[in-house]
Amino acid sequence: MRHAHSVEKVRAAEAELMARLPEGALMQRAAAGLASVCARLLGRLYGTRVLLLVGGGNNGGDALYAGARLARRGARVTAALASPRIHEEGLADLRAAGGRVLSFALLEELLSTDGGAVGTFAGTDLVIDGLTGIGGRGALRGLYAPLVRDLPEDAAVVACDVPSGVDADTGEVEGEAVRADVTVTFGTFKPGLLIDPGASYAGVVELVDIGLDLPEPDVIAHTTADVRLPRPLPESDKYRRGVVGVLAGSSEFTGAAVLAVGGALHGGAGMVRFASSEPVVELVRGRWPEAVTTSLPSDAQSLEPVGRVQAWVVGPGLSVDSRAHRLVHAALESDVPVLVDADGLNVLAGMSEPLRRGLLDRAAPTVLTPHAGELARLLGADRSDIEARRLAHVRRAADELGATVLLKGSTTLVAAPGAHPVLANLTGTPWLATAGTGDVLSGLIGALLAAGLPAPEAAAHGAHLHGLAARLAAAPDPALSPAPVTAFDVLTSLPAALRRLPAPASP
């Protein structure tokens, strides 16, 4: 499990620890961890060329001290001083170890020429980015941006704590940013390392323990080892395992119903009750004979004919006509958990705010699973702003809508109302960017809700399994290159994903 903490919490924990340690000890711990990772990447140190990008903050000090350690082991280390204000003790240590220094004035002159500093940096084996760290906000300024543009393309890049240009708290990137192969982060993960777009700049993230005593995290990312789902007991029957109701499909979007029901069945539901118009019911019945189906007339006002369920999934392929409005209303007026997706979200977005607030003000849990465009319609926000500030918007949505919100995307985020950690899923893959995969996810999460998992946990674990299934579908053999997948491929790979989970503990 990866815990990520805000810059404010990290700063407070660092200050508390530094008050108990000799001066400079904490920076030396960080530098030792950074140098160790760099040495492992280089393999052979003697004669290798290492470039330090040194900013004016403590991150620059970390890079200088790490560079000094590498220089003492035979590396040819050059520090490019990108700020007139430099950590003097770290710079002195690098000089004493035999490191070379490219002064701020000379670097400024190089970067102002037509060729920039590209020729000067040629032949570099490894770059250590110590420009901004967790204190960086907004676009890179001064020499930082042109320096980042001139980095040698064939050198490995190691970011110190957070890639420069990435907001440590949010993952936002405004303009130029360092694209790291490895990020060595200290004490705890930072939210911006787990959330896109920042996560895509971080590469492999290595955590170095420097002894911080930290409070509750702001963001949590589960690993597969953390995903533990209810398992059938000897006395289990189909009702105890969870009955999920699915309201999906229309004359225009029939496949969504088939995929959502399949996601619920493969997600471990003891029974799936499906209801829609007769043509869609026939398709679902033909593909999933184990589903219990009900044909609802277009003017149906109640879900009573469907039978009792322990959770509802409403929305995939539902359309936004009067029938869809009635079904969304009926599901949300029930006393069981409800997941609303796709057209169900569009129905909610088209309601007046008082009506929507009234429907979502319910005792049972509600899970909303929008992508950025759907969330933009629900919040009256700009889609591009949601893409750029995913963490802020998923928190805002959970609080304003009073529901658990799963924001789909390159990094899936799950937020619940109130001051709770946001859950980030790291198994997502671009192969999921294909029609129908969201319908599979809806059914899967619905099955977990029916099994009794709390809403945030059901959403986060469902997203984890969904991403893992997509990866397995794209590359069943890790030795082979991934291939394009369909939503049905993801669906049929769910059992393999479930088999990757930890075995249940012995009774």
175 marked as binding residue: no
CATH for 99:
3.40.50.10260
Domain presence at residue 228: no
56 marked as binding residue: no
Q: Are residues 158 and 35 in the same domain?
A: yes
20 marked as binding residue: no
Q: Is 183 helix (H, G, I), strand (E, B) or coil?
A: strand
371 marked as binding residue: yes
35, 27 in Cβ contact below 8 A? no
- Domain hosting 129: range is 2-221
> What was the pLDDT predicted at 504?
64
Nearest C-alpha neighbor of 306 from the set 280, 272, 339:
272
79, 59 in Cβ contact below 8 A? no
144 marked as binding residue: yes
210 marked as binding residue: no
206, 19 in Cβ contact below 8 A? no
425 marked as binding residue: no
135 marked as binding residue: yes
Query: Does 234 sit behind a cis peptide bond, omega within 30 degrees of 0 on the bond before it?
Result: no
Domain presence at residue 329: yes
How many C-beta atoms lie closer than 10 Å to residue 262's C-beta? 27
5 marked as binding residue: no
What are the start-end ranges of the E strands in 233-300?
243-247, 271-276, 292-295
46 marked as binding residue: no
Which tokens is 328 given?
């969304």
How many C-beta atoms lie closer than 10 Å to residue 181's C-beta? 15
Which of 221, 237, 264 lies at the terminal end of a domain, its last residue?
A: 221
Q: Are residues 210 and 335 in the same domain?
A: no
Q: Are residues 337 and 214 in the same domain?
A: no
> What was the pLDDT predicted at 507?
41
Domain presence at residue 138: yes
Q: Are residues 329 and 188 in the same domain?
A: no
Beta bridge partners of 275: 247, 294
Number of domains in the chain: 2
pTM score, two decimals?
A: 0.92
130 marked as binding residue: no
326, 300 in Cβ contact below 8 A? yes
Q: Are residues 181 and 319 in the same domain?
A: no
> What was the pLDDT predicted at 133?
86
373 marked as binding residue: no
Q: Which DSSP state fits 133?
A: G
67 marked as binding residue: no
Domain presence at residue 231: no
Give start and end residues of each alpha helix (H) in 172-233.
Answer: 191-194, 198-202
Nearest C-alpha neighbor of 257 from the set 269, 245, 267:
245
399 marked as binding residue: no
Q: Are residues 11 and 141 in the same domain?
A: yes
Nearest C-alpha neighbor of 494 from the set 430, 443, 421:
443
Query: What backbone phi and psi angles, to 5 degrees, belong to 145?
Result: -65, -50
Domain presence at residue 475: yes
133 marked as binding residue: yes
Distance CA 3, CA 50 (A): 31
Distance CA 10, CA 4 (A): 10
Domain presence at residue 506: no
How many C-beta atoms lie closer than 10 Å to residue 448's C-beta? 30
58 marked as binding residue: yes
> What was the pLDDT predicted at 226?
92
> What was the pLDDT predicted at 481?
85
Contacts of 79 (CB under 8 A, 6+ apart): 52, 54, 63, 64, 67, 91, 94, 99, 100, 101, 102
CATH for 363:
3.40.1190.20
366 marked as binding residue: no
Which of 162, 190, 221 lies at the terminal end of a domain, its last residue?
A: 221
Domain presence at residue 135: yes
Distance CA 195, CA 199 (A): 5
Domain presence at residue 184: yes
Which of 168, 202, 221 lies at the terminal end of a domain, its last residue?
A: 221
96 marked as binding residue: no
Digit-by-digit pLDDT tens for the chain (507 residues) are 999 999 999 999 999 999 999 999 999 999 999 999 999 999 999 999 999 999 998 999 999 999 999 999 999 999 999 999 999 999 999 999 999 999 999 999 999 887 778 888 999 999 999 999 898 888 899 999 999 999 998 999 999 999 999 999 999 999 999 999 999 999 999 999 999 889 999 999 999 999 999 999 999 999 999 998 877 766 666 777 899 999 999 988 899 999 999 999 999 999 999 999 999 999 999 999 999 999 999 888 899 999 999 999 999 999 999 999 999 999 999 999 999 999 999 999 999 999 999 999 999 999 999 999 999 999 999 999 998 899 999 999 999 999 999 999 888 999 999 989 999 999 988 888 888 999 999 999 999 999 999 999 999 999 999 999 999 999 988 888 888 999 999 999 999 999 999 876 544
262 marked as binding residue: no
